[in-house]
Structure 1
């Protein structure tokens, strides 16, 4: 049995779809989908960031980040690296040196199902990052095992290489490429409708009257 698996990078999703997804709020998708959301404890280091891109996946052993160091500089500008930590929530596989390598390489963002360290350095490099908080205990280069571009589990969601990923202040969602465009279009339509609703609120209409909630309550009094 091989200790390491390294598969090729997946096909990138089209730039036009990435551009469209980056106009979508994950919370809008939450109005009509449920299973595509990773655990809400995986949150943004910088809540001002919203990114979309192609899922590139990595599974690491609990305390070993050898394969991360090996592949970090090979990613493309359209890629988001999602790291399955094999259930470990103690060791930070991502810190200042890895952040600098990622920023210099220029790929889109990172999502770690575990903690990170050197948060100030992540922010100073303006690198979009999502994680389960912080840890001062780091992984080491033990050359134990790892797998690159295989199906992984991130926050309870199965992620396949080549999936579409959208991450923002509210969370991270993973979409199969076959449905990503449809989801984006539906969300953008809802966001446009929300702007109209807000204008009606500003004009003096009560929210309950606009949404129908007040009529529903009245029927049941």
Structure 2
């Protein structure tokens, strides 16, 4: 998918633009697709459940509350996401194994990196609207990301 968020902003109305805060860590610096969401806090049990399911080109948006105390995604879960055809993952929090993830065929944006893993309590919510970066990510809507930023649309643009 050839994504240029600046061009999409020039040619489409009704877009939401996420505040600039993310760094690109995945092997794909541009990606997009239908949104699936998780709302979790320092527990990535729900991330595993999500990436073990068929992605069908979707983008997983993980609201980790901007926690900088542990990583919500590592290389093993990213490998599962690649295997199960997820287009990308946005982490409002940290990832780890960034060098390995950088070699994978997936887009991954996160706030930063942290070497520690999460606890496993199996606590969280899936496919609920989540808000951060000045926007609300609604399951079933569309997200497009590249080097210029992250934008949202209620309908497919590409």
Normalising by structure 2, what TM-score?
Answer: 0.86
Partner Cα distance (2:60, 2:150) in 1: 12
Cα distance in 2 for residues equivalent to 1:98 and 1:23: 25
Q: Across the two proteins, how many residue pairs are aligned to each other?
A: 157
Which residue is 1:208 aligned to?
Answer: none
Counterpart contact for 2:82–2:104, Cα < 8 Å: yes
Regions of 4+ moved over 3 Å = 29-35
Structure 2 residue aligned with 1:192: none
Match of 2:18 among 33, 38, 41: 38
- Partner in structure 2 of residue 132 of structure 1: 111
> d(CA) in 1 for partners of 2:96 and 2:2?
29
The Cα shift of 1:26 comes to 1.0
Structure-1 separation of matches of 2:114 and 2:47: 18
Gaps of 5+ in 1: 1-21, 185-221
TM-score w.r.t. the length of structure 1 is 0.64
Give the alignment partner of residue 34 of structure 2, picking from 54, 79, 98.
54
The 3-state SS of whatever aligns with 2:49 is: helix
Change (3 A) 1:104 1:24: closer
Question: For residues 28 and 55 of structure 2, what CA distance do their matches in structure 1 show?
Answer: 22
CA RMSD of superposed structures (Å)? 2.2
SS of the equivalent of 1:150 reads coil
Compute the displacement of 1:46 (Å): 4.8
Greater relative CO (CA pairs within 8 A, separation 6+): 2
